[in-house]
């Protein structure tokens, strides 16, 4: 087998597979450094093509034998795999290969984590397990036999027998190889059952290391709620006798939807009140749902090729967002999701890594599991639903399932189901999938004789490889308020299809105040000249929670950018408006917490850059702090009251109400800590009986350069708890005062518990430091050098995690020439390194442009 030189793969080059697989049988003889994998695969010619080349992917496999229809063969090595001469018709391929799970530090394929065997095959990891057409449009039923002395042996599908030292599994549902999974270890289960809508009982198990079994209850409840929700809302029933989830400490990503055997980063399963925060609980609930929902959107209907990734990810994210809205507060969830889009996705769209929701080329597909594919992909589904209505959406999704169950589909198939079910022409809508970048929407207004006209102009700035952009269909949810603050035109969805378009509202008694892009109805940047007075008016009166929050956000941002550029103190519109919002007891505490929390330094830098000002990280840091002090000074009594009164009483519960109250109390605490020397935070830390309260107090203290004792206490208490210690590394590096951030981080990198080969720990420290905006962007460039050194150290062992972390450099174009030069020098140093991985190599090339 030869090393494949990095090659660019294009969507336009798609060709159907010459051979399909009718059935796969695998036997694993597990041993840490020499696992034997025996495969027996029935191939049949694909009637859809006349090509009969027989090619199998493979990487790092030691082949012990290969047979076709029982006769020994010697396959030819070609880049990325092997070829062999085969009969004209169906035949059986058998191979025995050896792999080294213990030596697999890339955590892709079959690897070991704390003595347990596990797999991660998406996107192209199965080829590291055995020779196979490792592409998602080849689907087959799998039968798996595992031989090992370990007590728990799991794979996809239903159990099909077990005995001393072996177990067999049978998965009747045809699946692509990326959904294959195997787990073997000394694990314990948290068990439950679920009765499906047609009355079938499913055995549920969450498998963890001994000692973790009392931290699985929350994830189990989330799983059962997800199973019920998918039946009720999408009519989708589960289709096997068992559903297993395994928690793994060493994992490159969040979680993986392998058929009947989801594998999770343990950080997204394990939770108890004393070790997990409210935010972690909410995230676990959402990810459990996400992976479960993939059973239909991803597994039963999968992707034809990896360019179609958003077909399963965008849709499944959309579904998990709907689930969270139903389980918690829909308004709060929408603000959180929109905020994520506006910060991280707009950042990606505006930088060198911008790509369409359906990319057209890649070198390493793992680099395209992005916020654009996932979250913008979900926004496209939301827009579709807005355009065709709830009934049309349900009909279209039903048709899509009915038509493509058991198939590998495309975005074209998805849109065709919508066109047929609703009669709507989606040819212009389809541009959203191929055109990268964030449309910028400018607005002008006209008022004459009771008629109000809104004129919108859309423009999408150029992105790498795409200079000419076309107008998109943009659903614009708009409402109008009269000057008293009453709503005179309720939410109406305007459909913009042209570059410039006007919409008229008649019969109004007075000039209205518009509320535009309600509920973040499209992933666009709204650019409207307005005043702080009007923003304060909308913060007070808008009936749309997202726009109400956005008005507060805009006020905060105008205060922060002013403070960061000329040191101006926040004005009365912001401070008074904020005060009124905080005291408004009709508003959900979680909503008030969102209004109170300030944009991050990275967001301020992004806003300044968008407005044509070069961001100065130190000035942003100082300005943000000044604004926090001003808010705390102006509203000390209100904040102190909220901090005291909002703490829920009684035993800790991670539900939306209690979590919302805590988030308001803790947002107040963070501000008060700016002016009280840390007294309240120290008291809260000492008295805290749950992780949310102690972390909030510790973070507030670290942010003012205090909290040494609390940090030590936390460390000593939790040093045996890996997930809790990840948070400690992240907080210390992320919140250290800018001047000390690098020293602190370097010292933490020498801490005996800095297990840098574990992705969670690496991301906590290196990612935490990069999140320390002023610390990372220190003028001498040593922050950039530090991260570069670590990327180069990790890359030979774990390319995927190194490549993911390299995105901290994607914003280089925002900063001054000196900083730009220093970041580019680091990127060039990486690019010039010998034996760089395909993953990191592609990332730095794209960032260098
Ligand atoms: N399909 C998984 C999820 O979103 C993500 C797997 C990503 N893995 C990878 N190697 N890129 O649920
Ligand atoms: Zn997913």
**pLDDT for residue 4:** 53
Domain shared by 175 and 321, yes or no:
no
Helix residue spans in 509-655 (DSSP H): 532-541, 545-566, 572-583, 589-596, 601-610, 617-634, 636-645
The residue whose CB lies within 8 Å of the most ligand 1 atoms, and thus the one to mutate among 253, 283, 310, 842, is 253
**Ligand 1 nearest atom to the CA of residue 369, by list position:** 11
Determine if ligand 1 sits within 6 Å of the CB of residue 212.
no
Inform me whether the pLDDT recorded for 319 exceeds 50. Answer: yes
Per-chain mean pLDDT for the chain: 98
Percent of the chain with pLDDT over 90: 99
Domain shared by 14 and 39, yes or no:
yes
What confidence tens digit (pLDDT) does each residue in 91-114 have? 999 999 999 999 999 999 999 999
Among 434, 469, 494, the domain-final residue is 434
298/407 Cα distance (integer angstroms):
10
Determine if ligand 1 sits within 6 Å of the CB of residue 280.
no
Protein residue whose Cα sits closest to atom 1 of ligand 1: 256
> DSSP string of 75-109?
PEEEBTEEE----SS-EEEEEEEEE-GGG--S--E
Domain shared by 457 and 378, yes or no:
no
The residue whose CB lies within 8 Å of the most ligand 1 atoms, and thus the one to mutate among 319, 369, 804, is 369
The catalytically annotated residue of 124, 291, 364, 842 is 291
Domain shared by 9 and 119, yes or no:
yes
Percent of the chain with pLDDT over 70: 99
**Ligand 1 nearest atom to the CA of residue 125, by list position:** 10
393 in a structural domain? yes
What one-character DSSP code corresponds to residue 272?
Answer: -
Overall size of the chain counted in residues? 849
- What average pLDDT does this structure show over 550-559? 98
Among 166, 185, 204, the domain-final residue is 185
101 in a structural domain? yes
232 in a structural domain? no
Domain shared by 160 and 176, yes or no:
yes
Gyration radius of the chain over CA positions: 27
Domain shared by 362 and 422, yes or no:
yes
104/96 Cα distance (integer angstroms):
19
245 in a structural domain? no
Residue 774, preceding bond cis, omega within 30 degrees?
Answer: no
Among 410, 434, 458, the domain-final residue is 434
**Ligand 1 nearest atom to the CA of residue 108, by list position:** 10
Inform me whether the pLDDT recorded for 280 exceeds 90. Answer: yes
**pLDDT for residue 67:** 98
> DSSP string of 604-622?
HHHHHHHTT----HHHHHH
| CATH number for 395 | 1.10.390.10
pLDDT band at 6, cuts 50/70/90?
confident
Determine if ligand 1 sits within 6 Å of the CB of residue 256.
yes
749 in a structural domain? no
**pLDDT for residue 2:** 43
> DSSP string of 404-426?
HTTSEE-HHHHHHHHHHHH----
Domain shared by 321 and 451, yes or no:
no
Inform me whether the pLDDT recorded for 5 exceeds 80. Answer: no
Domain shared by 33 and 55, yes or no:
yes
Q: Residues 514, 478: contact at Cβ < 8 Å?
A: yes
Domain shared by 428 and 444, yes or no:
no
207 in a structural domain? no
542 in a structural domain? no
Nearest to 518 by CA among 485, 540, 550: 550
What confidence tens digit (pLDDT) does each residue in 200-248 have? 999 999 999 999 999 999 999 999 999 999 999 999 999 999 999 999 9
299 CA distance to ligand 2 centroid (A)? 11
Protein residue whose Cα sits closest to atom 2 of ligand 1: 256
Which residue do the tokens 């101006």 mark?
568
447: containing domain: 440-529
- What average pLDDT does this structure show over 524-551? 97
Domain shared by 423 and 448, yes or no:
no
Whether 213 sits among the annotated catalytic residues: the reply is no
Q: Residues 662, 646: contact at Cβ < 8 Å?
A: yes
Domain shared by 413 and 511, yes or no:
no
Instruction: Domain count for the chain, please give it.
Output: 3
On the 0-12 / 13-18 / 19+ scale of CB atoms within 10 A, 531 is exposed
**pLDDT for residue 191:** 98
What confidence tens digit (pLDDT) does each residue in 65-86 have? 999 999 999 999 999 999 999 9
Residues 6 or more apart whose CB falls under 8 angstroms from that of 824 comprise 812, 848
Protein residue whose Cα sits closest to atom 12 of ligand 1: 256
pLDDT band at 1, cuts 50/70/90?
very low
Q: Which ligand is nearest to the CA of 759?
A: 1
What is the torsion angle, in degrees rounded to the nearest 10, for the CA atoms of residue 329, residue 330, residue 332 and residue 334?
160
808/347 Cα distance (integer angstroms):
11
309 in a structural domain? yes
What confidence tens digit (pLDDT) does each residue in 31-67 have? 999 999 999 999 999 999 999 999 999 999 999 999 9
Domain shared by 108 and 126, yes or no:
yes
What confidence tens digit (pLDDT) does each residue in 481-500 have? 999 999 999 999 999 999 99
Inform me whether the pLDDT recorded for 469 exceeds 90. Answer: yes
| CATH number for 96 | 2.60.40.1730
| CATH number for 517 | 2.60.40.1840
């Amino acid at each position: 087998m030869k090393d494949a030189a990095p090659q660019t793969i294009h969507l336009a080059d798609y060709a159907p597979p010459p051979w399909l697989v009718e059935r796969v049988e695998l036997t694993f003889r597990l041993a840490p450094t020499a696992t034997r994998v025996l495969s027996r695969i029935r191939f049949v010619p694909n009637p859809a093509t006349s090509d009969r080349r027989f090619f199998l992917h493979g990487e790092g496999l030691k082949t012990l034998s290969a047979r076709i229809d029982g006769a020994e063969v010697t396959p030819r090595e070609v880049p990325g795999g092997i070829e062999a001469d085969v009969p004209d018709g169906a035949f059986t391929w058998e191979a025995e290969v050896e792999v080294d799970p213990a030596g697999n530090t890339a955590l892709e394929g079959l690897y070991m984590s704390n003595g347990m065997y596990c797999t991660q095959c998406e996107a192209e990891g199965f080829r590291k397990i055995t020779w196979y057409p490792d592409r998602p449009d080849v689907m087959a039923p799998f039968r798996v036999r595992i031989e090992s002395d370990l007590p728990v042996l799991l794979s996809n599908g239903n159990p099909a027998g077990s005995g001393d030292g072996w177990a067999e599994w049978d998965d009747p549902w045809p699946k692509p190889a990326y959904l294959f999974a195997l787990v073997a270890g000394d694990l314990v289960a948290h068990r439950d059952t679920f009765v499906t809508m047609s009355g079938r009982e499913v055995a549920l198990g969450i498998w963890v290391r001994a000692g973790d079994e009392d931290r699985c209850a929350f994830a189990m409840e989330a799983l059962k709620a997800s199973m019920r929700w998918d039946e009720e809302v999408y009519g989708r029933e589960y289709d096997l006798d068992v559903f297993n989830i395994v928690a793994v400490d060493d994992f490159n990503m969040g979680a993986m939807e392998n058929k009947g055997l989801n594998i999770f980063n343990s950080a997204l399963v394990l939770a108890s009140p004393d070790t997990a925060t409210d935010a972690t609980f909410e995230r676990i609930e959402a990810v459990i749902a996400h992976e479960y929902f993939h059973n239909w959107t991803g597994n039963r209907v999968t992707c034809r090729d990896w360019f179609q990734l958003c077909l399963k990810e965008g849709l499944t994210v959309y579904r998990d967002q709907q689930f969270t809205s139903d389980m918690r507060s829909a308004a709060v969830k929408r603000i959180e999701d929109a905020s994520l889009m506006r910060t991280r996705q707009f950042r990606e769209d505006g930088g060198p890594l911008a790509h369409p929701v359906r990319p057209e080329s890649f070198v390493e597909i793992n680099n395209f599991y992005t916020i654009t594919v996932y979250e913008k992909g979900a926004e496209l589904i939301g827009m579709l639903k807005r355009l065709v209505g709830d009934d049309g959406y349900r009909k279209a999704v039903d048709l899509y399932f009915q038509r493509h169950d058991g198939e590998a589909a495309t975005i074209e198939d998805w849109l065709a189901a919508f066109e047929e079910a609703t009669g709507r022409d989606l040819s212009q809508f389809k541009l959203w999938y191929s055109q990268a970048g964030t449309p910028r929407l400018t607005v002008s207004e006209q008022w004459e004789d009771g008629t109000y006209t809104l004129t919108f102009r859309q423009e999408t700035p150029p992105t790498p490889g795409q200079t000419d952009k076309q107008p998109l269909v943009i659903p614009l949810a708009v409402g109008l308020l009269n000057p008293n603050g009453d709503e005179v035109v309720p939410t109406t969805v305007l459909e913009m299809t042209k570059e410039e378009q006007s919409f008229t509202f008649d019969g109004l008694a007075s000039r209205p105040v518009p509320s535009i892009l309600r509920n973040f109805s499209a992933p666009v940047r709204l650019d409207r000249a307005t005043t702080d007075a009007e923003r304060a008016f909308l913060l007070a009166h808008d009936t749309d929670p997202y726009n109400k929050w956005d008005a507060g956000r805009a006020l905060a941002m105008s205060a922060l950018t002013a403070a960061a550029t000329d040191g101006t103190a926040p004005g009365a519109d912001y401070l008074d408006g904020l005060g009124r919002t905080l005291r408004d007891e009709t508003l959900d505490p979680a909503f008030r917490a969102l209004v109170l929390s300030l944009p991050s330094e990275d967001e301020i830098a992004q806003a300044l850059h968008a407005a044509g000002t070069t961001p100065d990280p130190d000035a942003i840091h100082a300005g943000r702090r000044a604004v926090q002090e001003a808010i705390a000074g102006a509203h000390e009594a209100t904040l102190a009251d909220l901090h005291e009164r909002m703490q829920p009483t009684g035993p800790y519960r991670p539900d939306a109400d209690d979590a919302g109250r805590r988030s308001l109390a803790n947002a107040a605490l963070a501000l008060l800590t700016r002016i009280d020397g840390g007294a309240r935070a120290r008291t809260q830390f000492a008295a805290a009986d749950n992780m949310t309260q102690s972390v909030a107090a510790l973070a507030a203290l670290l942010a003012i350069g205090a909290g040494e004792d609390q940090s030590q206490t936390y460390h000593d208490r939790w040093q045996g708890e890996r997930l809790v210690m990840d948070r400690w590394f992240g907080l210390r590096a992320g919140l250290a005062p800018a001047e000390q951030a690098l020293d602190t981080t370097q010292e933490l990198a020498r801490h005996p518990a800095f297990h840098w080969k574990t992705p969670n720990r690496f991301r906590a420290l290196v990612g935490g430091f990069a999140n320390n905006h002023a610390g990372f962007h220190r003028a001498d460039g040593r922050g950039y050098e530090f991260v570069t050194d670590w990327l180069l150290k990790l890359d030979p062992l774990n390319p995927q995690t190194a490549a993911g972390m390299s995105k901290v450099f994607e914003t280089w174009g925002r900063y001054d020439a000196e900083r730009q030069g220093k970041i580019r020098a680091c990127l060039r140093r990486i690019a010039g390194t010998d034996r760089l991985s395909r993953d990191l190599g592609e990332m730095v090339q794209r960032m260098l442009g």
